[in-house]
Every structure is written in C-alpha cells, then in structure tokens.
Amino acid sequence: MSEQSDVGPSVGRDEGGALGAPRPVFALTPKRVVVLVVVVGLLLTAGLTYTAVALNDRNEHRLLEVHTRQAGAVIESSILGITDPLATALQIELATNGNTEEFTAFMDNYVGKGRPFVSASLWDASGSSPTVLAQVGLAPLVAPSSPQAAALMRRARRTISFAVAGAPTKEVKRIAYAQADQADHSLMIYAERAIPPSRRVPVESNSAFDGLSFATYLGRKQVPSALATTDVPLSQLPLTGDTTTVTVPFGDTVVTLVAAEQGQLGGSFGLQLPWVFFIGGLLLTALGAVAAEELVRRRRNTAEDSYVISGLYDELGQLYGEQRSIAEELQRALLPLRNPEIPELEIASSYVAGAVGVDVGGDWYSIIGIDETTFAFVVGDVSGRGVSAATVMARLRYTLRAYLVEGHPPAVALDLCARQVDLKEDGHFATVLVGVGDSATRTVTVANAGHLSPLLIGPDGTSFVATHVNPPLGISTDPYVSTTFTIPPATALLAYTDGLVERRGEMLDEGLERLARAAAASDGPLDQLVSSVLSSLLEGNHEDDVALLAFRWRTTIEVG
C-alpha cells in the first residue's frame, strides 16, 4: 500500500465507495523531522559557537590593549629615572661653571652595576666637535670625535629634553643620552645605558608585563636595527597574531612597545564557553532529534489523538524550562562559587534569576581580600540581557578585580574602566558600586557609577548611604568621585541591584522604603537577613535578575 500525500486532509471512501469523513494526513515523516531538527540544531550550534569565539576574541583584544597601555605607563614612569639625573647634573655644572669634581661626585651615584648608566661624561660642546672634560664609569661606545657624536650634539641643542640614540648604530648594545645647555650650548651631559644580552631590563619584569610577549623599539620603526628589548627569541620577531602598539615619549624620540598575549588574559572561561555551546548544542540536537522522531512516530501511530497535541505542549514547556535552567547555570558560572574568608568579616550574598525570559543576565557581585586589613567589593548591573550583556559583565568583573587587587581606590578603578564599555559600540551600559573597606578603622570608601546607594542595617534602624552618584559606565568618561564613611558596630552594609526594588508602574522610592522595612524587621545571622529580605521583596513573579551582597564586621574576633 503506497504512502498517502502529505498535503492537507485526504478524503477516504467506505466499502461502498461513498465519501467518508476527512482524516488528517501528516506532512512530515519521522525521518524528515530528524533531518530538520539536526539541520536547525547544527545551525544554531554553529551560530552560538561562532558568536562565543568572536566575543572571546574581542574581549581578549580589549584586555590586551589594557595590559599594553599599563605596560606603556610603566615604561613612561621609568623614564623619570633617566631624565632626572641628566637634568640635575647639567644644572649642577651650569651653576659651578663646569666643575668636573662636582660632576664626578654626583654621577658616581648613577653609574655602575645595578644603576641607570654604565658610562657618563661631561663634554665641552662649544665647538663643532665636542671634547670630554670628565668621565665616570666605562668608556663610551660613541667617540666624541665621531659623526654620531656630532649628530647627537646637534639634536641635544635643539630639544629642551634630551637626545636619544642607539650605540653603536648598526647593532645597538647601549642607549646613548645627551642633554645640552639651551643658553649657549657650551656644556653637554652624555650617558650610556647598557642593554643586557638577554634584552630584558628590570622595568620589564614588572607585573604589568605578565601574560605579554613584547618588543620595544627605539623610534617608530619596528625594524631589527631599532630593537631595544624583547622577551622572545629574535627569530620570532616581528611579533605576529593579535598585537597592539603603544608609543611612549622618550626624549626627542619615542619608544614603540609592541605586545602580543602569551595566553588567555581573561581566564579560561572565555576559551571554555565556545566548547560549552558546541558540545551542549550537539547533545541537545541529538536529544532533540531523538525526541522529535519519537513524538512524530507516536503521533502517526495514534493518528488524530488530541492528547498528543497536549503532550507536545508539555514537551515544549519542559524544553523551555531546560533552556532557562541552562541560562541560570551559565549566569551562576560567571559569579563567585563561594565568598572568600576575610578576617573579622561576616559575608552573605545571593543571586536570583528573573522570572521572565531565558537569556543570561548582566547582574553580578564580587568581594575580594586585598591584604590583612583591606578588602574590596563590587555590585553591578549591565543593561539588557543575553550573551553580549554577560560578556560585558565578565569583562568588567575581571577588569575591576584586577585594578582593585593592584591597590587602586574605587574612583580610580572606575576611571580606568570607563573606556571599557561604550554604549554605541557594545549596545550596553553598566551601573556599578565599587567599595574598599578597612578592617582596622572600619571605614568604607565607595564610588558610584549610576548605581543604587547601599543600605546600612544596625541596631538603631536602617539608613541609605549618601553617595555621590556618577554616570554609569559606557555613558561618560568624566572622573568619578568617592565617598568615605564609618560603619557603626553591629551594623551591616547591604548592596544590591535594581531588580530587588524596582517594579513596573511603581515609584522607585516605594521599593526603597519596602527594602528598608524588610531589612529593619530582620535579625540574626547575615545569611538569615539576606534570605528574609529576598523572601519579603520577591513575592510572586519578578521580571529582573537580583544580585545582593551584604557584610558586617564581627563584634569580637572568633578563635577557631
């Protein structure tokens, strides 16, 4: 018996040939459904995997730019160790009419092993060819009578800073510096700084260079003859792959820093996320194909059974719930697994996903110990939802964490992050509350980027901290202002995102008053306070995600 047509209902005939009631004919066979599910599943898996890879690459490039700028700032600050001795030596000689003993006594402090220079000379530059009046350390590689010395002297006369050149010119073994008197060009300070055979200098062992492969060039051209330092074999230059370049003013020229990442700057999550989507997508596609084939087969076998349709809706609801569960798991993977142990501090936190939608959100919290008495905390909310919002959230979370661990105050940390989010480029902005607490003084300094002010909960009641509310990240790059206050004994600080208090059709003040009442009615351990506040304010369906962080100092130090 041949298979029936798969378009619309067919009309059957009874044994007498009369037309019977129309019966439904299924357009899709189990095989066709499996093929369709597999094709759609593979397309979605490929799209999500590609998006995750692209977002990770973009995030890594931005982190590389941040690290490279930090490394450039370290190099720029180290230049002061070169400019100050040269300028001071020149001023001493001008004041003493070229006293060679004064020059030797001063430069002895800056010449030698472990010091900025290996050679320093005082030159008479009044003629066309300079002559050496005094010398400290090794003999210079650039002879005063050489054309290179004459060219360096002419450049030093034209700049208010110092002239820089490689010595010798073909294979640079030292960096030569010259600073001349701008009034009558009669005196010039000449010094040479050694470049070790490894091409590494102490400044480039700074933590700002961690995770970077780099090369520095004297001048703007990235050519072998201009190479100053690097941490890779010369055969691997120039650096390839994803690189960034920063130029730092250096006397009458510049130092060009080229950097490439050695590994994953943003942590392993960015590398793992594409595999999560890829493997998870394949598994879901396989499960979906099996489930779809079974559903269609059962529907064909049971013909017009209306209960099958009801079962399909139940299956769809289950898949929706699974997608929501996956979204919540991904969200929680971006949050801390547990709060750290910080001396003298009681900590409680919670994250509650919104009741609407299955997309990943952008709410987060974080608390970290800085040293024995100092800790930092962050509560933030990226606008919108989805993978892009979660990516912006992860980038801000790790970047702020890095700046706070480095010891930057909250306002400075926000200033440094202000260019990490751009509403026009990313389609998102972020409200963030950043704070640093001192257990020795029990003071807290906070900087507020468009976020809701924290709530103090103590024996005498509750009060909101009067913070200076600055624009959210991604809206403006104006400097941020911090607020410092002292937390009274037995008083907890509660920081939260707007999903805890905002409700559709309601003024924000009503939600804040409701929070203050719920917090004042809570007592006992901090975990119990957080649970009580959440149960009081999140009755029924709430649309937005909620991130909540609370801490307070213990009244006595617990002995474990």
Predicted TM-score (pTM) above 0.95 = no
| 3-state SS class at 519 | helix
Cα 443 to the center of its chain, rounded Å = 27
Please report, for the chain, the start and end positions of each structural domain, with discontinuous segments joined by +. 80-194, 339-553
| Same-fold call for 80-194 versus 339-553 | no
Q: How does pLDDT run along the chain (560 residues), one tens digit per residue?
A: 444 444 444 444 444 444 444 555 556 677 888 888 888 888 888 888 888 888 888 888 888 888 888 888 888 887 777 888 988 988 998 889 889 999 999 999 999 988 889 999 998 888 777 889 999 999 888 888 888 888 888 888 888 888 888 877 666 778 889 988 877 778 889 999 888 776 665 555 566 677 788 888 888 888 887 787 888 887 888 888 889 999 988 888 888 999 888 877 777 777 788 888 888 888 988 888 888 788 877 877 775 555 545 554 456 556 545 444 554 555 555 567 788 999 999 999 999 887 555 457 789 999 999 999 999 999 999 988 878 888 888 889 999 999 999 999 999 999 999 888 888 888 899 999 999 999 999 999 999 999 999 999 999 899 999 999 999 998 888 899 999 999 999 999 999 999 999 988 889 999 999 999 999 988 889 999 999 999 988 876 667 889 999 999 987 544 34
Q: Please tell me whether residue 376 adopts helix, strand or coil conformation.
A: strand
b/e 339-370 (16+ beta carbons within 10 angstroms → b): beebebbbbbbbbbbbeebbbbbbbbbbbbbb
- CA atoms of 330 and 60, how far apart (whole Å): 20
DSSP letter for each residue of 312-323: HHHHHHHHHHHH
> Which CATH code for domain 80-194?
3.30.450
Look up the CATH architecture of domain 339-553.
4-Layer Sandwich (3.60)
Under a CB-based contact definition with an 8 Å cutoff, are residues 481 and 410 in contact?
no
Q: Are 548 and 530 in contact (CB under 8 A)?
A: yes
Q: Which residue has the tokens 């507020």?
A: 448
Question: 111 exposed, middle or buried (CB, 10 Å; 0-12, 13-18, 19+)?
Answer: buried
Cα separation, 162 vs 343, whole angstroms: 51
Task: Give the residue carrying structure tokens 């917090």.
Answer: 519
13 CB burial (10 A radius; 0-12, 13-18, 19+): exposed
